[in-house]
Amino acid sequence: MGIRDRIATGLKEAMKSQDKPRLATLRLINAAIKDKDIALRGDGNAAGVSDDDVLGILGKMIKQRQESARAYEEGGRLDLAEGERHEVTVIEQFLPQKLSEDEVAAAVDKAIRAVDAGSIRDMGKVMGALKAEYMGRMDFGAVGPMVKDRLG
């Protein structure tokens, strides 16, 4: 079952159980996917959004909510921060299992060998290879410095 199908199933279940916070989050996910679909159709891509695109959308949504939660905490609005964290947990349910630190290190080494990276100039190639294979399964913000250390 694809990610979009899992989201649609989750949406139906949330409607049936009348879980309003979960339902609202799933509707936001659907809206973001449909926006991307429309944008791709405008660019001449009739196929629409792929699973990798959906993983990218979900990752971006998580990052936005984590930043919002931090901002709300700094502003003393713990109730709003908690709402953002709840949305993150709902979104994370549709992402693949995260890689462990050892698996991330092995994936970075493998990507460096695969693109034959020899210097920091090849960092973009390495990150591109990692994103192509591990989208949604690792935190690329944390992986960037690891790649930089290995290439530098």
Q: Where are the domains of the chain?
A: 3-92, 101-151
Which pLDDT does position 46 carry in this prediction?
A: 67
Was domain 101-151 assigned CATH 1.20.120.420?
A: no
Asked if domains 3-92 and 101-151 share a fold, the reply is no
Whole-structure pTM value? 0.73
In CATH terms, the fold of domain 3-92 is Hypothetical Protein Yqey; Chain: A; domain1 (1.10.1510)
Per-residue pLDDT of the chain (152 residues; tens, 9 = 90+): 688 899 999 999 999 999 999 999 999 999 999 998 888 887 776 677 888 888 889 989 998 999 999 999 999 999 999 999 999 999 999 988 888 888 888 898 898 888 888 888 988 898 988 888 887 788 888 888 888 888 87
∠ at Cα 133 (97, 35), nearest 5°? 80
